[in-house]
Amino acid sequence: MIKVFANSWALFLGIGLLMIGNSLQGSLLGVRGKLEAFDPSMMGFVMSAYFVGFLGGSWMTPDLIRKVGYVRVFAALGSLISAAFIIYAVFIHPVAWMLMRLVVGFCFSGVYVVAESWLNNNATNQNRGQTLSAYMIVQLVGIVIGQAVLGLDDPGGYNLFILMSVVVSVSFAPILLSASPAPLSDDTERMTLAELYKSSPLGCIGSFLLGGIFSTMFGMSAVYGGEVGFSVEQIAAFVSLMYVTAIAFQYPIGWISDKIDRRRVIAVCMIVATFGTAMGAFAGGNIYIIYAAAAILGGMANPLYSLLIAHTNDYLSPSKMASASSGLVFINGVGASFGPILVGYLMGWIGPSGFFVFNCVLCAIIAAYAVWRMTQRAAVSPDDTGSYTPVMARGTVMVEVAAEIYAQEAEDDDDFGDRNSATDFND
């Protein structure tokens, strides 16, 4: 792991700074929106705009890269992000924020594609797993640091907006000075969404519902904290807990999923998350119960996306894995686009507890569907599955890295041909 960091320190530093700015953005807008007395339902639209923009960026960025190249796209999108962060502070209005969130989401998707292409290009078959793990840890640490930065100054002023703009601007320097353009891989077999659903109904349904959970954790947790009456420091701690526990539980959950039916692990994680979020919904003003609910939700939900990708790959040939992962990312993004809007309306209707109620319902549905799917198709033997690889739920080429790891393991498996021919892709 140390060697991985040493070889790609510039990229990891840049990505870490980007995640600090992106994490601070979501919480700062949530807190400032409360100070400006913006309605929670309107803030739901503001937060959802990021994920809508992210979907658009994931479709358009590859064409932009082919036309003008990686470095130019990276620099242009980075400049727009930095400018948007300043505009937040200049135009304190939900419509302006919504438009800027749309731009920021679009730009971040492109930035991730460019940066991760370099990382993928530098990785080898021997260190891709370590590289992906290090990359994920850097992102989670950046998110946690971003919450800590929130308490450094008054969110009602301009300094924090300027600070996150500066942080994002500085993050480009090590990447632009070190990165060399790398083409996106095209050696994959395409899959339609219908084919993907036929191969893994749980992967598709789970990814869609999980998108709603992710977007509310990332976009609406600070809004919830403001509605409950938390201080800025308490909001930062509340959001951070969701990602600190994610770091702690990522590998234990992944290790277990390599040993038994992944659907059981998915179901158990979501059952635990259901009880945790129910606890949060009935916590009233007890901050310790709310903190515990946040820790449980983050620790159980964050590793789930990687489990869904791994479960889906168990039923696919290696040539289809990258396409399937990209499809799951798209489905996840669609679900994410609606999450903050629905939570905003629910919080406006029943109060702040709507945040936990929404997530409780989605966790329960995923758990129930995973249990039902276990009755519809036999599990793949643990000996015939690929290793779990932690992946963040974003439409980037890192899903191709995970697919290549899995494909490499499949090629080394003497029984792979028999498994592939014997697997029934239909329910």
**Do the domain assignments include residue 121?**
yes
CA angle 269–328–171, rounded 5-degree value? 90
Averaged pLDDT, groups of 10, the chain, 427 residues long: 67 84 85 86 83 76 72 82 91 91 87 66 55 73 84 86 90 71 52 82 90 85 85 85 84 78 90 94 89 93 81 72 68 82 87 92 95 80 56 50 46 48 41
Count of CA atoms in the C-beta half-sphere (13 A) of 331: 25
CB 288 within 8 A of CB 279: no
**Do the domain assignments include residue 427?**
no
Per-residue pLDDT, 87: 93
Q: Give me the amino acid identity at 7.
A: N
Q: How many domains does the chain have?
A: 1
What are the CA-CA distances from residue 419 to residues 59, 323, 359, 406, 422 (Å)?
34, 20, 37, 14, 5
**Do the domain assignments include residue 39?**
yes
Q: Give me the amino acid identity at 384.
A: D
Per-residue pLDDT, 64: 77
Give residue 329's domain range: 2-422
**Do the domain assignments include residue 17?**
yes
**Do the domain assignments include residue 184?**
yes
Per-residue pLDDT, 213: 92
Per-residue pLDDT, 398: 45
CB 190 within 8 A of CB 327: no
**Calpha distance 28→159 (Å, rounded):** 11
Residue in the structure block whose two tokens are 């059952």: 271
**Do the domain assignments include residue 80?**
yes
pTM: 0.70
**Do the domain assignments include residue 143?**
yes
Per-residue pLDDT, 427: 41
What CATH code is carried by the domain that includes residue 197?
A: 1.20.1250.20
**Calpha distance 413→400 (Å, rounded):** 20
> For 36-155, where are the alpha helices, taking DSSP H only?
40-68, 70-90, 94-122, 128-149
Written as six digits, the tokens of 152 are 């450094």
Q: What is the CA radius of gyration of the chain?
A: 21
